[in-house]
Chains A and B, each alone.
Chain A
Amino acid sequence: MPLVVAAQDAALPAFKEIDSVEARVQGCVTCHGQSGQGTNSGYYPRIAGKPAGYLYNQLVAFRNGTRNYAPMNYLVAYLPDAYLREMAEHYAKLRPPYARRDPGNVDPALLARGEALVKTGDPQKTIPACAACHGAGLTGMQPGIPGLVGLRPTYLTAQLTAWKVGERKAAEPDCMKRIATRLTESDIAALSAWLARQEPPQDPSPESANLVRMPFACGSQK
């Protein structure tokens, strides 16, 4: 049954057909936006265009309690795998425009450290480059590695810190844990600041799997 779309605001409920995946995922929109592009709040990430496998792993982890964020744990607590997969595939296909980048002033030395970590890593500390797994364009890699572009510093800092302290984890072997525990707080600030200031890519699609040998083995890429 066709319905009038009530509002264009990204965070407001809106859909055309009741019997559609758009209508079913209205539970996501006030935080992640109508097309998964994110909303005004810096803490809620853009989810559009991330690999379906990554989004699915997160939904399952929220449901099973292996990733902790109470509002998400609550929302997906009683949803079956097949439906979580459908939600993940829905958002993975979307390509909404990116929000404006963070224009804040940041110490150039910090940005330089961020850029170095992203592009070349820190061999002294055995930290591989972010781009080695998250893609040359930082748009992620199929099936399980998320893109880093279009994320804001609040979210990036919170997540990297959560990995570092062991609050966030992934399937073993947990490559991201190995990396995050090597990062200092200052490294995390540098990465978040640099990543949040990058131009969005022409093609936001994640890279195909197996184009590159990954520096660390990752359970989510199996």
Chain B
Amino acid sequence: MRLGVRIAIGVVVLAALAIAVVLSMQPGALPSKPQQPHAAAPASGAANAETLLIQKGEYLARAGDCVACHTDPEGKEFAGGRAMPTPFGALYSPNITPDEETGIGQWSSDEFYRMMHSGVSRDGSLLYPAMPFASYTKVTRADSDAIYAYLMSVQPVKQKNRPHELKFPFNKRELLIGWRTLYFKEGEYQPDPKQSEQWNRGAYLVEGLGHCSMCHTAINALGGSKESNEFEGGMIPNQNWYAPSLTSNREAGLGDWDIKDIADLLQVGVSKRATVYGPMAEVVYNSLQYMTDADAEAMAVYLKSLPKRDAEPPPTSQARLVQPSVMEQGRKIYETQCSMCHGSDGKGHPPSYPPLAGNQSITMASPVNSIRMVLNGGYPPGTKKNPRPHGMPPFSHILDDDEVAAVVTYIRVAWDNSGTPVAASQIPELRKLLPE
């Protein structure tokens, strides 16, 4: 089964850049032998310095969600082998357990930091940007060392890396140099002295380990994303979920949200305003639920402060016109199938059942997520603070295309919602997709 692979990004392009730049980036001054002995399990649980470092590293590895990509659904933790479909072919994540032969057991902390910071592997080869080194470059050396110490402490697994299956010319790593020139800016996070310590902590986590922009910034045909469009949202390639803009109040802009609701959404998976499903449910399940309250709040403070940039003007009243017969059809379906949980007034029963009235993820320009929810239903992630979430059933076998379009149209415009109608012709394509 396919947990949402949220990488996709990357593999990039190259066709356009097929300027064969065959530079070799051999590791010049890198030490040939591992510098650090493998950290064994900490003795007797005493909180010595090494234990504390490993614990810190475990927490940071959670924040970076390493496990999501580096673990195959049927495999061992961190042993890699997870398939990541991209528009350019399939990538397979590598083994990052400390196995000497097949994992990263021989890596030094210097080499690990260079990989995180510069996107260059131990052997000097360039990483595909499915590995979010464009975000991880912001991670401090101290934090990189902690993650390294943690990974060295986990159970080694002997499992050879599976070669990528990329189509020509994307299988030429040299072409990555072009991608890097366009889209990669190396450098650790620099705190903004004008902002609070809390804001800076949030920015560090969101922009760095959290690698939120991997999904929440639109990706162009070259598999790259522009800093100027950061957090403006976009379709996640190969997953067909829409990652909403975090800067637009029409999408998931958080400008008018309470800090508590943002932090809850991230850490609990449900909030008074909205609920996470799909790929974001995976992020919360594997990563964000483990964040401390202080870190979740810091991320919320930073996200709320993102500048408001609506890429498009709100829809005109003309664009919002709905045929009365469609509206009536949608209302009837809603009353029968949806109102039990979401209420005739669309206010839901938050946080158990999310509100639909005034919910930006319902009214945003792309109706993809709403359509997918109606077709496939969904459960929010079961988290430490919400271990028994309420679920929504699928309706794909009950409603035909006209009915799905009518009910999604209804929730997008009822209760003064500012969305636009959806056409039945938009449904079949999404119906064909496997739920994931």
Interface residues of A (CB under 8 A from B): 1, 3, 6-7, 11-15, 18-19, 21, 23-31, 41, 62-66, 68, 70-71, 73-80, 82-83, 86
A82 CA / B384 CA spacing, docked (Å): 11
> Which residues from 378 to 436 on chain B have a C-beta closer than 8 Å to any C-beta of chain A?
378-382, 387-398, 434-436
Additional A-B contact list (18), CB under 8 Å, known A64-B74, A70-B1: A11-B398, A13-B337, A24-B389, A26-B393, A27-B391, A29-B393, A31-B397, A64-B73, A65-B2, A73-B1, A73-B436, A77-B282, A77-B379, A78-B285, A79-B389, A80-B382, A83-B382, A83-B389
Residue of B nearest to A5 (CB): B340
User: What chain A residues lie within 8 Å of B285 (beta carbons)?
Assistant: 77-78
Q: Which of B1, B282, B394 gathers the greatest number of chain A CB atoms within 10 Å? A: B1
A13 CA / B333 CA spacing, docked (Å): 12
User: What chain B residues lie within 8 Å of A13 (beta carbons)?
Assistant: 337-338, 340-341, 393
A76 CA / B281 CA spacing, docked (Å): 11
User: What chain A residues lie within 8 Å of B395 (beta carbons)?
Assistant: 30
A82 CA / B395 CA spacing, docked (Å): 27
Given contacts A25-B391, A74-B435, is CB(A65)–CB(B73) below 8 Å?
yes
Interchain nearest-CB distance for A218 vs B (Å): 21
Contact with A along B358-393 (1 / 0, CB 8 A): 000000000000000000111111100001111111
A109 CA / B265 CA spacing, docked (Å): 60
Residue of B nearest to A14 (CB): B340
Would you call B1 and A26 a contact (CB within 8 A)?
A: no
Would you call A83 and B387 a contact (CB within 8 A)?
A: yes
Given contacts A14-B340, A74-B378, is CB(A65)–CB(B392) below 8 Å?
no
B3 within 8 A of A: yes
Interchain nearest-CB distance for B163 vs A (Å): 22
Q: How many B residues face the partner with a CB closer than 8 A?
A: 40
Residue of B nearest to A73 (CB): B1
A186 CA / B27 CA spacing, docked (Å): 64
- 12 pairs of residues in contact across A and B, judged by CB atoms under 8 Å: A12-B336, A13-B338, A18-B353, A19-B352, A21-B388, A24-B390, A24-B391, A28-B393, A30-B377, A68-B1, A70-B434, A78-B380
Would you call B387 and A80 a contact (CB within 8 A)?
A: yes
Interface residues of B (CB under 8 A from A): 1-3, 73-74, 281-282, 284-285, 336-341, 349, 352-353, 376-382, 387-398, 434-436
Q: Majority SS of interface residues in chain B?
A: loop
Would you call B436 and A27 a contact (CB within 8 A)?
A: no
- Which 10 pairs, one residue from A and one from B, show the smallest C-beta to C-beta distance? A27-B391, A65-B1, A74-B435, A73-B1, A78-B381, A78-B285, A30-B393, A70-B434, A13-B340, A65-B73
User: What chain A residues lie within 8 Å of B391 (beta carbons)?
Assistant: 24-28, 75
Partner of A74, one of B74, B338, B436: B436
Would you call A26 and B339 a contact (CB within 8 A)?
A: no
Interchain nearest-CB distance for B1 vs A (Å): 3
A50 CA / B16 CA spacing, docked (Å): 57
Partner of B376, one of A12, A21, A74: A74
Would you call B379 and A12 a contact (CB within 8 A)?
A: no
Interchain nearest-CB distance for B333 vs A (Å): 11
Would you call A82 and B387 a contact (CB within 8 A)?
A: yes
User: What chain B residues lie within 8 Å of A70 (beta carbons)?
Assistant: 1, 434-436
Residue of B nearest to A7 (CB): B336
Given contacts A18-B349, A28-B393, A31-B397, is CB(A71)–CB(B281) below 8 Å?
no
Would you call A77 and B387 a contact (CB within 8 A)?
A: no
Residue of B nearest to A21 (CB): B388
Partner of B340, one of A7, A31, A80, A83: A7
Interchain nearest-CB distance for B78 vs A (Å): 17
Residue of A nearest to B341 (CB): A13
Would you call B379 and A75 a contact (CB within 8 A)?
A: yes
Residue of B nearest to A84 (CB): B382
Residue of A nearest to B289 (CB): A78
A176 CA / B262 CA spacing, docked (Å): 48
Residue of B nearest to A76 (CB): B379
Q: Which of B74, B285, B340, B341 gathers the greatest number of chain A CB atoms within 10 Å? A: B340
A23 CA / B379 CA spacing, docked (Å): 12
Interchain nearest-CB distance for B335 vs A (Å): 8
Interchain nearest-CB distance for B355 vs A (Å): 14
A82 CA / B387 CA spacing, docked (Å): 8
Would you call B379 and A78 a contact (CB within 8 A)?
A: yes
A51 CA / B341 CA spacing, docked (Å): 29
A75 CA / B396 CA spacing, docked (Å): 14
A70 CA / B435 CA spacing, docked (Å): 6
Would you call B398 and A30 a contact (CB within 8 A)?
A: yes
Given contacts A80-B382, A83-B388, is CB(A71)–CB(B398) below 8 Å?
no
A59 CA / B13 CA spacing, docked (Å): 39
User: What chain A residues lie within 8 Å of B377 (beta carbons)?
Assistant: 27, 30, 75
Would you call A77 and B3 a contact (CB within 8 A)?
A: yes
Given contacts A66-B74, A78-B282, is CB(A71)–CB(B376) below 8 Å?
yes
User: What chain A residues lie within 8 Å of B74 (beta carbons)?
Assistant: 64-66
Would you call B352 and A71 a contact (CB within 8 A)?
A: no
User: What chain B residues lie within 8 Å of A14 (beta carbons)?
Assistant: 340
A19 CA / B90 CA spacing, docked (Å): 43
Residue of A nearest to B74 (CB): A65
Would you call B390 and A6 a contact (CB within 8 A)?
A: no
Would you call A71 and B282 a contact (CB within 8 A)?
A: no
User: What chain A residues lie within 8 Å of B388 (beta carbons)?
Assistant: 21, 24, 83, 86
Would you call B436 and A31 a contact (CB within 8 A)?
A: no
Interchain nearest-CB distance for B180 vs A (Å): 34
A65 CA / B377 CA spacing, docked (Å): 19
Would you call A12 and B337 a contact (CB within 8 A)?
A: yes
